[in-house]
Structure 1
Amino acid sequence: MIYRPIDRTARHRAQGDAMTHSPQGNVSRWIDRVFGVCAAVAVAISLGGIVGWSASAPLLTSYVPGATAINPTTAVALGAVCVALCLVRREQVRRRRRAVSRTLAAAVALLGAYSIAAYLFAIANPFDQLLFGSLLQGNRIAPNTALCLLFLGVALLALDGVGRGSVAVCQSAAAAAAIVSFLSVAGYAYGTRWLYGVPSFIPMALPTAIGVHALAMGIFCSRPRQGAMAAFTSNSFGGVMARRLAPAALAFPVGLGWTRLLGERQRLYDAELGVAIYAVTTSVGFLVLIWWCARKLNALDEARLAREDELWESAQRIEDLYNRAPCGYYSLDEAGMFVAANDTVLTWLGYVREEVVGKLRFPDLLTPAGREVFAYQFPIYKQTGSVDNLEFELARKDDTTFWVLLSSTAIRDADGKFVASRSTVFDITERKQAQAELQRLNEALEDRVEERTAALSATNRELRQKNDENEMFVYSVSHDLRAPLVNLQGFSQELAASADELAALWQANSASPAAIDRTLEILDEDVRPSLRFIQSGVMRLSTIIDALLRLSRAGRVEYQWERVEVAEIVVRIVDSLQLSIAEKRASIHVGELPPAWGDAAALEQIFGNLLANAVNYLDASRPGVIEVASLPSADGDAGFVTYRVKDNGVGIPALHQAKVFQAFQRLQPNLASGEGMGLTMTRRIIERHRGRIWLESVEGEGTEFLFTLPAAPAEGRAETSAKGDLIHAR
């Protein structure tokens, strides 16, 4: 947006445009008509003079019998001035037309200047004898005519010149020509040669005086809103008064004086009565004129007051709209200082206008982050002139904040320099809160989805693992149960065969010594070994069933959750293993062991199984070393404590490491007894504590078991379960 200072010419032009449609009168149209009349008069005088000399018609060259006739060169000069003036009637004309106009004006000015020089220096003037030289009989360009031609040429040359001085030169020259020509017309009216001629020289012709005056008035009418003419054409009270008084001030006294003189010459009254009539008539005439003007001015003033009331009401409506708008309006100067602010934004801020306008800069109301944005955007805005949809957090007087959405356009002066901003702000606090709440809900939803996805992934992995374990468990149990059953079946068949043989012996030999010996042999060599093998198979089956029952109980036992001092548990376990540790020539190093959250008995079972395995699988060829300590938890194990049990035993081959946590897996049964269920139960207990277990082992160097246990109760979760397999959320 461009702000322009007051341009009086443009203002007058606007007033003139308003006058064109005003009920008080069409001033612009009236001026155009006056210009047209002046041009027509000048053309008629110019053509009439040339035609009069051509046709020897004195009335066309002098208008008054016996009076001085217009010089043909003067007639041509007046025509040239008229043509030059008509070419530049409008301010915006083509360059060629303006060039032709100035050429004609310069020629007329030179003609006038040369004619004056001819009189001053008593030199011949061939220019006024160019046309109809044989008929002129001493008719020349009069001195006052030459002066008027010079004035008219200078006025046309200065028309639309550069700078304010050109207007003054133009109108001063035109006014001088108008005064000289008016005096000449008055001289002819009153019969006073001193007014229209210079003694001892040819006087100005009446057609010349009328033509010069018409052209001078035409020059004034061509630029009605410039210089002194603007006072007559403005729509103000002064303009109205000037337009009504000026014609009367010129015509009324002159006409009344001519009437008085005519009456005296006709001896209708004497000089004293003539003066009295002139004075009284002048007074009455001017009183009537003043009354008429006053009446007109009163009507204009009433219209002005009515218009001012309308403007005041309109201004009040605009001010009310500005101050009570649902959005904030304000303006900043080039330094960012408030120069205006409406009531809405002041209410939002909690300030009164006197505390803000001229006192605070916009960055004073911003948060630190907002000041950085303003410092970056404000210089760019002053260059580009607009900014849209910037978000700022403003600080109120009570230090609370609110969010606004800002858009602004720049106001510039005529030179394009930044003057002020015209800014609009909308309170978007509720929208920002809704966005923040929506973002929070989205983040919470994403977190829940991520948690549920992770939980589902973990559950799927656990289900796949359980499925694999179940398959391996079924295979292992089937394999382990099949061997005793095969033995039971074989030895039961052996017993049946032995029983059949005994029956046959007893039936055939009736208890002979040989039968008795054979019977004893069968009992010793067949029946008793078969019974022993059957009993061994039954015991094996019983052991497998007991192990399955223990594994089942490990998943169903109800834990008593509490803070458990792990260090005390490990000390007790190490004390219970002292005999085995001495037999293995081993040593156990116990490091720092933070407490854990869980079931004390279950945690003792974990450490007991791992320490017992570490002792049992030490390498007999070197002293055994066992370490029990804690490690820093990884990023994914936040809230858990990581423990480790490390030994320098025989180690686990890489191919068998994936099977160590499966049921009934004993990789080196010759080193220790058992069913291969210890590590399976250990992992089950750790998983019920929401932890995990893994191992690192190198065959021949040793094994390290690592596992995690919770350091504190899980937030939002119950740590007890009646059935034990799941940890329910509250």
Structure 2
Amino acid sequence: MVSWVAILAGVLTLVGWIWDLDTIRRILPGTISMNPVTALAFVLGGGSLWLHGTEAAPQPRFWPKALALVILLIGFWRLMGYVFEWEVGIDQWLFADKLATDLAGQPNRMSPNAALNFVFLGCGLLLMNRTSRRGLRLTEVFALLIGFISMLALLGYLYQASWLYGVVSFVPMALPTAVVFHLLAIGLLMARRDRGWVRLILSESPGGALVRLMLPILLPALVLLGWLRLAGERHGLFEAEMGTTLYTVMAILIVWGLIWWSARSLHRADKARRRMEDELERFFSLSVDLLCISGKDGRFKRINQAFSDILGHPVEELMQNGFMEYVHPEDKERTLKEVEKIHSGEPSLHFENRYLSKDGSYRWLWWKSHYLAETGLIYATARDVTEQKRVQVEIRQLNETLLERATQLDATNQELEAFSYSVSHDLRAPLRGISGFAQALEEHSKAVLDETAQSYLLRVRRAADRMGYLIDDLLKLSRLTRAEMHLEQVNLSLQAESILAQLKQREPERLVEWVVQPEIVVTADSALMHVLLENLLENAWKFTSKNPKARIEVGQSPGPAGEKICHVRDNGVGFDMRYATKLFGAFQRLHSMVEFPGTGIGLATVQRVVRRHGGRVWADSELNVGSTFFFVV
């Protein structure tokens, strides 16, 4: 903004010289006009300041420095002319014929104080981005010099004291020139707000707030007091001594009032700060987590009581020693690397190491740390996770034990299944021999055997046949465990319809009503699900044989957590729920062989299929009412 005001002021002045617009050139009648070369230098200065302000954009750095150098040379050459009484003619480049007698016969020249300000302005623009080792910005020094000289000129015009804006008998500084110089001084100061004195003034610190409060009030008040004093003396209201006294008294009152107001504001701010520090200290002390601040020297600068409570060491001892002295030897190298990473500016969000306790044991601490470059300190919090570590170790050991036992159990099951399969397979041959020889004996000796002997032979053959059926069912059950599963979308409705149709073909004389819900689809192994339904439906068919109005239902209903619960329901003889725990065991029967023949393997097979799918199966029944078998796969 300031740069554009300087450019506009320079351009308007040049326009005033071109068109002889006296009001634009001098503002106040009877005062000196701004020199055209001065106006040109203001345009260059505004342009350089604007380019400096846009350095974040892709602007070449050459141009702002080049313009600053031109301004510096103009001011320096004109100043040397005054010092060595040379007629340099640099301020006569433009409109020489109009500059001959600008005011009271005196030729218009660039004033010495204006030339000096241009030297300062050029230097300030050239050194815009330079900072000394102690953080001093020379640009701010030059800006203050420019502001001081231009302020003297402005006060001179305000107080009608020509010696403030003129140097001896040389051409004085024009009023527009003083105004633009003052604005450019402010622009130089504000061009880099993130550094130097301006950063302090604009900060939220008490010092910045004090400057922003006092300067806008104190400076205008003192200037106004000076003007009122001179006006009173010139109009004969009081003598010089009285004017000086009044000025001094009023200045003291204004300064004292501002100091008192500032002191009260600072006092309130300090009280608020102390209250906040007390609250933070209370929080710092009461926190169950470990809070600390450490420096680059590896020592704690501040820690809370939780350190002493958890580790057992006194706070003073922890503060005296470096924190690496308490780190477990196996964790020191990792800890040093983590500290280096934090100092590089990367926060540590999850780091664990062991710290030595007073009793000689080590505690696991979980750290979160952050480095603040402004203070050069690391701010960290830690939490004691020793108990969690112990639990994790126990859980890991337990998992390893369970895995080992599961492996052993799996091997044992495989051995048992192999043994069962082998035994069942090897028993089939002797059973066939028993059944065959019993039949041969019956045929060979039927004429000589009485009815009792023939009855014994028949019972032997039936027992052998039943044993064969049991062995066949055991082999089927064993194959279910060893068979590889292939999961797919299985339509249970179609499978149930097919199985019920086969059962009807076996006993066409029976009247059985069945209802199968359409599109019962599950994700499972198709062959295993066929075995499951076959056993459930054969049971339902068998146990409804004594009901002249037999009915079998196959359906599906929604369950908790999005489950799909399938069921097979019949209105057969049912069973006593007190014995439901024995229902799915191998060879477990709840009805006699005379009433309902079978091997007692069917429901055990159903349970094995459901478990292989990771599901569950259960039943609900009532005697002489019926049974319902539910399963989820």
State the TM bucket, normalised to the shorter chain. 0.5 to 0.7
Q: Does 1:67 align with 2:20?
A: no
Which residue identity does 1:172 align to in structure 2? V
Contact preservation (8 Å) 2:367, 2:381: yes
Q: Using a 3 Å threshold, how does the CA distance of structure 1 residues 253 and 275 change in structure 2: closer, same or farther?
A: farther
Aligned equivalents of 1:351 and 1:278: distance in 2? 69
Structure showing greater radius of gyration is 1
SS at match of 2:53: coil
Which residue identity does 2:112 align to in structure 1? P
Equivalent position of 2:481 in the other structure: none
Deviations, residues 161-199 of structure 1 (Å, cap 9, x unaligned): 254579542122222222222222233333333322233
Q: Using a 3 Å threshold, how does the CA distance of structure 1 residues 222 and 443 change in structure 2: closer, same or farther?
A: closer
Equivalent position of 1:324 in the other structure: 288
Contact preservation (8 Å) 1:109, 1:153: yes
Q: Does 1:86 align with 2:55?
A: no
Deviations, residues 6-25 of structure 1 (Å, cap 9, x unaligned): xxxxxxxxxxxxxxxxxxxx
Segment drifting more, 53-62 vs 380-389: 380-389
Contact preservation (8 Å) 2:294, 2:377: no
Equivalent position of 2:245 in the other structure: 279
Contact preservation (8 Å) 1:158, 1:167: no
Per-residue deviation, 1:67: 2.6
Aligned equivalents of 2:111 and 2:354: distance in 1? 84
Segment drifting more, 334-343 vs 225-234: 334-343
Which residue identity does 2:237 align to in structure 1? Y
Contact preservation (8 Å) 1:257, 1:278: no
Equivalent position of 1:111 in the other structure: 74
Contact preservation (8 Å) 2:51, 2:59: no
Equivalent position of 1:171 in the other structure: 140
Q: Using a 3 Å threshold, how does the CA distance of structure 1 residues 345 and 212 change in structure 2: closer, same or farther?
A: closer
Q: Using a 3 Å threshold, how does the CA distance of structure 1 residues 317 and 452 change in structure 2: closer, same or farther?
A: same
Aligned equivalents of 1:47 and 1:249: distance in 2? 34
Aligned equivalents of 1:260 and 1:387: distance in 2? 65
Matches within 5 A, 1:11-160: 36=2, 40=5, 42-43=6-7, 45-89=9-53, 93-94=56-57, 96=59, 98-137=61-100, 138-160=107-129
Q: How many residues align?
A: 414
Equivalent position of 1:269 in the other structure: 237
Segment drifting more, 81-90 vs 420-429: 420-429
Matches within 5 A, 1:655-694: none
SS at match of 1:139: coil
Residue in structure 1 matching 2:162, options 193, 205, 211: 193
Equivalent position of 1:18 in the other structure: none
SS at match of 1:223: coil
Aligned equivalents of 1:335 and 1:269: distance in 2? 70
Contact preservation (8 Å) 1:231, 1:242: no
Matches within 5 A, 1:552-571: none
Per-residue deviation, 1:39: 5.4
Q: Using a 3 Å threshold, how does the CA distance of structure 1 residues 445 and 341 change in structure 2: closer, same or farther?
A: farther
Per-residue deviation, 1:74: 0.8
Aligned equivalents of 1:110 and 1:310: distance in 2? 55
Per-residue deviation, 1:77: 1.0
Q: Using a 3 Å threshold, how does the CA distance of structure 1 residues 222 and 377 change in structure 2: closer, same or farther?
A: closer
Which residue identity does 2:220 align to in structure 1? A
Matches within 5 A, 1:561-600: none
SS at match of 2:59: helix
Deviations, residues 53-81 of structure 1 (Å, cap 9, x unaligned): 22323332223433322211111112221
Per-residue deviation, 1:292: 4.8
Q: Using a 3 Å threshold, how does the CA distance of structure 1 residues 299 and 55 change in structure 2: closer, same or farther?
A: same
Equivalent position of 2:208 in the other structure: 239
Contact preservation (8 Å) 2:13, 2:36: yes
Deviations, residues 100-155 of structure 1 (Å, cap 9, x unaligned): 22222111111001111222333332321121111111322122221111111111
Aligned equivalents of 1:75 and 1:297: distance in 2? 45
Q: Does 1:210 align with 2:197?
A: no
Q: Using a 3 Å threshold, how does the CA distance of structure 1 residues 396 and 132 change in structure 2: closer, same or farther?
A: closer
Segment drifting more, 340-349 vs 104-113: 340-349
Contact preservation (8 Å) 2:229, 2:247: no
For structure 1, the residue ranges without an aligned partner over 5 or more in a row are: 1-34, 468-730
Aligned equivalents of 1:448 and 1:198: distance in 2? 109
Contact preservation (8 Å) 2:165, 2:173: yes
Contact preservation (8 Å) 1:88, 1:97: no
Per-residue deviation, 1:234: 3.7
Per-residue deviation, 1:331: 8.3
Aligned equivalents of 1:432 and 1:124: distance in 2? 94
Equivalent position of 1:646 in the other structure: none
Contact preservation (8 Å) 1:67, 1:205: yes
SS at match of 1:113: helix
Which residue identity does 2:120 align to in structure 1? F
Which residue identity does 1:121 align to in structure 2? F
Deviations, residues 402-445 of structure 1 (Å, cap 9, x unaligned): 7x4x5546655759x99697654412324434544565576678
Q: Using a 3 Å threshold, how does the CA distance of structure 1 residues 127 and 390 change in structure 2: closer, same or farther?
A: closer
Residue in structure 1 matching 2:261, options 295, 312, 332: 295
Contact preservation (8 Å) 2:226, 2:247: no
Aligned equivalents of 1:389 and 1:185: distance in 2? 63
Q: Using a 3 Å threshold, how does the CA distance of structure 1 residues 341 and 454 change in structure 2: closer, same or farther?
A: farther
Deviations, residues 550-588 of structure 1 (Å, cap 9, x unaligned): xxxxxxxxxxxxxxxxxxxxxxxxxxxxxxxxxxxxxxx
Equivalent position of 1:10 in the other structure: none
Contact preservation (8 Å) 1:338, 1:362: no
Equivalent position of 2:570 in the other structure: none
SS at match of 1:117: helix
Give the number of the structure with larger relative contact order, counting CA–CA contacts within 8 Å between residues 6 or more apart.
1
Deviations, residues 610-663 of structure 1 (Å, cap 9, x unaligned): xxxxxxxxxxxxxxxxxxxxxxxxxxxxxxxxxxxxxxxxxxxxxxxxxxxxxx
Equivalent position of 1:432 in the other structure: 393
Q: Using a 3 Å threshold, how does the CA distance of structure 1 residues 438 and 281 change in structure 2: closer, same or farther?
A: same
Segment drifting more, 64-73 vs 111-120: 64-73
Contact preservation (8 Å) 1:332, 1:422: no
